[in-house]
Structure 1
């Protein structure tokens, strides 16, 4: 059995690489050795394997770097004189482009970059407004009883977004309540007013933290799930199939998810408020505040107006989360990487929407004196 060997023959800018011997795993030279054997002046490389004996995929692995180097150097690479199987392996390997990151150098000016960024943001805003308009049309069809929205889908997503989220909402809410109580107690203890920690926790949870923290949880949990579900359907061409059958994706896919979040978010918000107050009570009782005092202070501090402000926030937050998740899923590309990017974009957009909406609500409540 002859060992693997190779040599080159050069005539001007035409080179011939001869392969001979036994090329199998463990015995074959690497691709760097083959590339080093090609002269720099070569512009046309022919591969000849007349004396090639047994070979396996290790030969194709060795020739792949050579083929890609020839492509980079604009050198023609002719493989007509090698076995057909080896030609097919090389064509298959070189047919897949080398992965390149998006961190490429750009020579654009700052003005051009700024213009492109503004244009991209404008396109995103336009697409979001169009999506919101389509959602309103689908909702109008549902209210008139003409939408292709199944009731069983609404109940399914209510179960997915509601009861199955109680565990994480409970954990986060009780910790937020404890944090609020602890931070407030540090200052109130200096004044001997520890009992007012109940007011701080109650107002903070009911008006702000209950709705906002629940929305953030749902954005990371449910919004990303919506984007991944719809993105996978986009990859599998299921949404295209629905469109061909004349079924609106807004009515059949988006509306059940939107309605489920709108119905579930107020209930989760109220639940988070109660659990947060319980977490505050755990800290307050360790500061010589009795449970009766804590409950009495909480009852006097919170009224129905405070509760309604948090509930209204939670409803709007649910709409924003559903829009961000569903839009990212429907605009997903056709590969697995696009599904991951859709889930990421859904969470990022949802959190941005939540922060902006929460700030707008607080300004509005302040102007109205609520």
Structure 2
């Protein structure tokens, strides 16, 4: 494999000059720079990213903190950051925060110890004050799926209230007035805001969501299944269910099927996120599209622009809106 010495010898320059070209340094004439770059290409020399990072006193890496690895939503988030890392020939450093403040804090600290100046953080349990303090000390830290009022320019987030309203509107337009909700039991803002939006839209239409028609569970397929079983045990009428996310919605569909109910003929089901799973459950899931991968790409680009000392002009707004994806799991109430 060609080395920097080979490039220097072929170009008739010093190793220091080649290093300046590799690191885009000053004091290199245009003609010399062009000759060195051409020789690097001709002999197939590729600079060592880690060596360059040491010279520049920073890691050639882009970090991301997500709660876990198995959830397809967070996998899409990490994939978006990885896309940007590859575009910039950077290494992706991934750290998991799990579901509590102490592990989120440890995950962030691990990336900071690796001298990872640019990072995208998904944190739901650390306080606004602590995250803001970390951001002030780390110019390239950007938060995703979190709004911090003191540093909104460093946040990329989704309007969850609007998503809840959109789900309610879809069910109402299809004639559903007896509705239920299967939501997450995690004490974070996402489920609360989605439920808030759902209730508000129903209220504006003169429809109320009874408290006994709301069931809580872990935000996965099993949680959705168990919560639906508890809802069915109450024997209250409903023709439509809004689920906190697509994984819970898949559990909802299974529980309804096991109880002898057909989707959407007996009950329409609407999820949230539009992860890959939503296209492979049967019937295919109507859901609210959460553009998490696009948001993650923009968050990573923002983090890199901040590290470079450039004011962000990447986006007109950092707030995103969900959109309805109509598939097979929801239909007109008259068909139920």
What TM-score does the superposition give when structure 2 sets the normalisation length? 0.29
Q: Which protein is richer in strand relative to its size?
A: 2
What TM-score does the superposition give when structure 1 sets the normalisation length? 0.27
